[in-house]
């Protein structure tokens, strides 16, 4: 194949760009999922303020 460097450059550019995009998407998704777990853990660890008992008519 006499034009191998050009053909190779074209195919490798396409393969490299697509692979990089897929890896980026997966990393972004993994980062978002980590953020969600952190939020869930933070909510679970937050102590809840005890409320005063309230009757149905709003009296205490």
Partner 1 sequence: MTKVQAVLAGVSGRVAGVALAAALFAALVLAPVDARQGDVYRLLFVHVPSAWLAYLAFFVTFVGSVAYLLRGNPAADRVAASSAEVGVLFTGLAIATGAIWGRATWGVWWDWDPRLTTTAVLFLVFLAYVLLRAGIAGEARRARVSAALGVVGFANVPIVHFSVLLWRSLHQPPTVIRPGDPTIDHGMLAVLALSVLAFTALYVYLVRERLTLEATAARSHEHLAAIG
Residues that bind partner 1 (CB under 8 A): 1-4, 6-7, 9-11, 13-14, 17-18, 21-22, 25-26, 28-29, 32-33, 35-36, 39-40, 42-43
To the nearest whole angstrom, how small is the minimum distance from the Cβ of residue 7 to partner 1? 5
Residue 30 near residue 23 (C-beta atoms within 8 A): no
The residue (of 43 and 54) whose beta carbon lies closer to partner 1 is 43
Which CB, 42 or 54, lies closer to partner 1? Answer: 42
Residue-by-residue DSSP string for 44-58: HHSPPPPPPP--TTS
Check: CB of residue 37 under 8 Å from CB of residue 44: no
């Amino acid at each position: 194949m006499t034009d191998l460097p050009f053909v190779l450059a074209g195919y490798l550019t396409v393969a490299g760009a697509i692979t990089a995009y897929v890896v980026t998407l997966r990393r972004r998704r993994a980062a978002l999922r980590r953020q969600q777990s952190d939020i869930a853990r933070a909510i679970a660890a937050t102590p809840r303020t005890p409320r005063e008992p309230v009757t149905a008519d709003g009296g205490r």
